[in-house]
Amino acid sequence: MPLYLTRFSYTPEAWAKLIKEPEDRREAIGPLLEAVGGKLHGLWYAFGDHDGYVLLESPDNATVASVLVTVAGSGSFHSMSTTVLLTVEETLDALRRAQSVAYRPPGG
C-alpha cells in the first residue's frame, strides 16, 4: 500500500483544547485510518515549520484524500499538506521507465 507523509499545524484553538485536556491523538487517527483500510505508522510533534507529522498508509490516493479533507474540515488545523512517498523499488522502476520517455525541453 502507498505511504503518505502528512505535515500539519494546529490552530491556536486546537492547542488550547489539547492543553486543557491532553490526549493521545493516535487513538483517534489510528481507528480512522483502519476504518478505510489504512494504517497509522506514527505521529510525531516537532519544532519548526509544522507542529507535527503523520506517517500513514492507505489503499489509494482517493481514500487518503477523503480522510484528509474530512480532518481538514474539522477546523482544527492552520495548515496541512501531504506527500506521497515512493519506495526505493518504485523509484528504481520509475528511473527505468524514464529511459524510454522522450522529452523536448523548452527551446530545445
Give dist(CA 9, CA 21) in Å, integer: 18
What is the arithmetic mean of pLDDT over 18-47? 97
User: Taking phi first (over 0 means left), then psi (-120 to 50 degrees means alpha), and beta for anything else, what does residue 48 get?
Assistant: left
Q: Are 10 and 76 contacting, i.e. CB atoms less than 8 angstroms apart?
A: yes
Copy the grid coordinates of residue 32: 480512522
**CB neighbour class for 46 (10 Å; exposed up to 12, middle 13-18, buried from 19):** exposed
Q: What is the pLDDT of residues 7-28, one digit of tens each?
A: 999 999 999 999 999 999 999 9
pLDDT at position 108: 76
pLDDT for the residue numbered 2? 93
Global pTM reads: 0.88
